[in-house]
Structure 1
Amino acid sequence: MSLKFFDKLSQNLIELLTDKDDYNVIIEVENKEKSFTAHSNVLKFRSSYFRKELENIQPNENNIKIIIKSSISAQIFNVVLRYIYGGIVDLENCETRFIYDLMLAADEFELEELTNKLETLLIETKGSWLRTHFSFIYHFIFNRNELKKLKNFCNDIVVKHPNLIFNADDFTSLEESALVSLIKRNDLQIEEVRIWDYVIKWGIAQTSTLPANHDDWTKENFLTLKTTLQQCLPHIRYFHLTSIEVVDKIEPYKKILDKQLWKDINQHLLVPERPVKSIVLPPRSVLVTELPTRAEEPRESFSTIISEEHAAEISTWIDRKTTVYTLTNIPYKFELILRGTRDGFAPQTFWNICHGHAYTVVLVKVKGTDEIIGGYNPLAWDKDTDGKWMETKNSFIFSLKNGNIQNSILSRVKGQYAVYNRSKNDQIKGGPYFGDFFMHSMESNFTLDDNCYCCGYGDCYEKSIRPSSSGRFSIINYEVFEIVKKTT
């Protein structure tokens, strides 16, 4: 029989923390403006970081050891210290950024238990915030040796939406470990030749001594680049490139490859059935989202908002047909890019995930009604503009037949104000913008206020898709699909 009294033990240890009589350690934080007292025996048995630090610090004349952590805030360190002593962390009413910073501090102090708990908490309950601040988080966490769950969470997003990282302005500042963790994935959704281009671009950016003109490179220059990319080159799927790609892209940099590999690549192009000495990696898998047909067994719907009949109607509008496609001859695949209930409702999430995607349909389920409204944009969404209208004759907005909504409404663009790419400052509160229909939230969450809007007069498009008296609205969910032509 075992009697356990952990609550009382925790309370007594926290009381020890506040006792100023017997401390022998001072930790200075926040640029030495704040300080905390502690006990070396508690610190070193609870944290391998503090054990190593205390072993290397000589006590002062009062037999006190001083640890300086200037970059840690007093608020964060107070929580860390109370966890070390009492095993309790109170996150009531804490902002997500505070939880994230606390996780980084716990990782720095090698508090594995606390780090893992906070990492799981962020992934399971704060996914929207993580996606909204994706670029900032992604570039930072790969400076750390741990945080494996968060790294996997981020990479699971990037492999499906590689433009988030590879087309970002700060791509070349990516940590080597982050780049390697991506290009080794079998499910990275980029053509292999583009992966090679990005790897070369990243390698050149890390090597400032290389001549700007590739034709001027010496043998030593190629050797330098080879050394820089030694962790990346083994993960390229060379034997799944076409002959044109090898000639145009690989051959100019053949000097950074091992001689046997270059020999095997050429042999494979000439005699593909003959075995080679080099390691042949499998081709990358292609993720495909097909619309289910009636002949198939029931399975999870491709959308939580629209039906196959709606998809057929939207496809008809895209092709400007007068007769609606049947379910068996829909010419397009609706490939899911974003779902609010999965990816979050922050406006910035839309721009981060949909950046670079063209031929997209935005679908919105209006709160409190049966309305499903949306818009089609054949042009690419661009999060890197200062705010710019895009002109196209092929965009349209619509309302779909659903529940009490008896008929669908199609409204085609009638002027030059078809689709608007918001400025970076505007993306914090503003989502997709189709002239007379846009998504907006002062709370930076489309479900928390009534700031989405449809014009009742049809200024930019032929007609209104909602009654003029409907006003602004909130949403339950929204989805963005990329419309891809089916191959026969």
Structure 2
Amino acid sequence: MELNLFEELSNNYLDLLNTNEDFDVIINVEEVSNIKTFHAHSLILKRRSLYFRKELSNANKDQDNNKIIHLRNVSIQNFEIIIRYIYGGTLSLERNDESFIFEFILVSQIFFLEELVKRLENYLIKEKDHWLRSKIVHIHQIVSKNNCFQELQKWCNETVARDPKKVFNSENFVTLQENALVSLIGRDDLQMKEVEIWKSIIKWGISQVPGLPNYLTDWSHEHFQVLKTTLQHCLPLIRYFQMSANDIANNVKPYKQILDEDLWNDISKKFEHPDNQISSIVLPPRIILVPIRAINQFSKVINEEDAAEIASWIDLKNNPYSVENNPYEFNLLLRGSRDGFTSKAFWKLCNGEENLVVVIKVEGTDEILGGYNPIGWIKPANSIGEYGGPHGEYEDCDECFIFSLKNSTLQESILSLVKSMEYAVHNARYCGPAFGGVEEETYGCNFDLVLFIEGETCYCEQSSYEKPIRKLPAKRRSWSNSEMSYFSVEEYEIFQVVKKS
């Protein structure tokens, strides 16, 4: 028989810490205007922490033969948690937010508490993924400097690889550590065009060399050589042969002096005669991945980055919102699947509500379709719009739009603004939310986007909005030049967008 009485053991050690019995170590935690003294035991400290093992071997003693340690890089609050963990193996951070927990991970590493660091890393990754994504640039900068944060490093690299613009387009990109940049651009799954990667590393390299002339025409041979040396670990990782001839001419050629002569000759030869053999090492083309949208507390279809992008379209922002400065909250009104949809539920929960965002996860693909309707849908007062009767009612609006969010085949999201505002939104009892269309006496409304018309049918057919948001699979109408693209819904959600207080 084996008994595990760890809780009682933990409590006994915590009692030892609290009573100060037989202590032989004094730890002074010094803040700017405050000092707090802790009494501890060298045997426990040395066994539990490599930091204390080192410090105690060199610590001075007072007149009572107690070893003295001064801590100036840790707050009193954090050390109180640390010392209780060292003695009792317990930790409670329920009342602390994500920022505090992340900072506490950094503090834990100071004391080489590897098990605690790993547990807290996994906690943030599994439970607070949405917060990590909102702070990805800041977190990536910090963890890339220290190989002790392996779980967060791995998470950051995989997350940035899927959406690299978060880092590459940030103001802090040029401050990225070289090892972090090399790690990113060396990934086969970095979801970024090769020419954009090239331009980014050139931008980073130039920022590392103070005093370079602003114009390339003023650069000397020495200037190019300095840049070449600065980028010596980055240049071999670029997939030059995945760039177009136009990319090479406009973006690589001006900097050809920083490439080895044999490589430049091979690049030129390959584009002039693609079948010719070359001697340079050719890295494999980058792998296009299917984006994985994180499961969020507020949505099963979109994440915070998607919400920020939609908010940017609502406010017609040239510089899109980030997760941190998104001024809107997305309040869920209705959620369901194809099997769970009823027009009755839609009209009951959404009738007359304004500023609505519809998002749809297409079954069998990674597509996310949707639309924004600031005026809302109004249920017709009579039988107009019932299947078999008149087609329904249109409402004017010049602020509506529909969209398709980026995915494995769509590198940039599609935003389609309304062009015929008199057909912006459609109200009919027989269907769910409907955008656009041009009413035809014989054949119906050919909506730009509609959910659950005539029972279960959903489709897109570009007519009253600027761009089609879905191309395939499509079926051409015999009576018009447009194409209907049918799809099934895996999950849909309707949000009301409101300004944050």
Common topology (TM > 0.5):
yes
Name 2:18's counterpart in structure 1. 18
Change (3 A) 1:410 1:151: farther
- CA-CA distance at 1:212 after TM superposition: 2.0
Match runs of 1:115-154 below 5 Å: 115-154=117-156
Write the distance in 2 (CA, Å) between the matches of 1:271 and 1:90: 65
- CA-CA distance at 1:16 after TM superposition: 2.3
- CA-CA distance at 1:29 after TM superposition: 4.1
Q: Which runs of 5+ in 1 are unaligned?
A: 290-334, 377-393, 420-459, 467-481
The structure with the largest alpha-carbon Rg is 2
Secondary structure (helix, strand or coil) at the match of 2:38 reads strand
Match runs of 1:284-433 below 5 Å: 284-287=286-289, 340-341=298-299, 350-351=307-308, 365-367=332-334, 370=346, 371=349, 373-374=356-357, 411=395, 413-414=397-398
Q: Could you tell me the percent identity over the aligned residues?
A: 37
Change (3 A) 1:241 1:114: same
Q: Retained in 1: the 8 A contact 2:256–2:264?
A: yes
Q: Retained in 1: the 8 A contact 2:137–2:167?
A: yes
Secondary structure (helix, strand or coil) at the match of 1:37 reads strand
Secondary structure (helix, strand or coil) at the match of 1:159 reads helix
Match status 1:191 vs 2:148: no
AA aligned to 1:18 is: N
Name 1:452's counterpart in structure 2. none
Name 1:170's counterpart in structure 2. 172
Query: How large is the RMSD of aligned CA atoms in angstroms?
Result: 4.3
- CA-CA distance at 1:343 after TM superposition: 8.7
Change (3 A) 1:287 1:344: closer
- CA-CA distance at 1:116 after TM superposition: 0.9
Q: Retained in 2: the 8 A contact 1:164–1:353?
A: no
Secondary structure (helix, strand or coil) at the match of 1:130 reads helix
- CA-CA distance at 1:353 after TM superposition: 9.3
Change (3 A) 1:123 1:338: closer
- CA-CA distance at 1:338 after TM superposition: 9.2
Cα shift readout 1:4-30 (whole Å, capped 9, x = no counterpart) = 432232222222222434232414243
Normalised by the length of structure 1, the TM-score is 0.63
Select between 144-153 and 198-207 the one with higher mean Cα deviation.
144-153
AA aligned to 1:366 is: L
Cα shift readout 1:41-100 (whole Å, capped 9, x = no counterpart) = 322221223323333444455544444443322222111111111111123333222222
AA aligned to 1:188 is: L
Write the distance in 2 (CA, Å) between the matches of 1:67 and 1:258: 55
Match status 1:239 vs 2:241: yes
Q: Retained in 1: the 8 A contact 2:294–2:303?
A: no
- CA-CA distance at 1:168 after TM superposition: 1.7
Name 1:28's counterpart in structure 2. 29
AA aligned to 2:25 is: N
AA aligned to 1:350 is: A
Change (3 A) 1:218 1:367: same
Q: Retained in 1: the 8 A contact 2:378–2:427?
A: no
Secondary structure (helix, strand or coil) at the match of 1:281 reads coil
- CA-CA distance at 1:465 after TM superposition: 7.9
AA aligned to 1:189 is: Q
Q: Retained in 2: the 8 A contact 1:127–1:344?
A: no
Q: Retained in 2: the 8 A contact 1:171–1:202?
A: yes
Secondary structure (helix, strand or coil) at the match of 1:185 reads coil
Normalised by the length of structure 2, the TM-score is 0.61
AA aligned to 2:333 is: V
Change (3 A) 1:353 1:125: farther
Secondary structure (helix, strand or coil) at the match of 1:11 reads helix
Match runs of 1:251-270 below 5 Å: 251-270=253-272
Q: Retained in 1: the 8 A contact 2:213–2:219?
A: yes
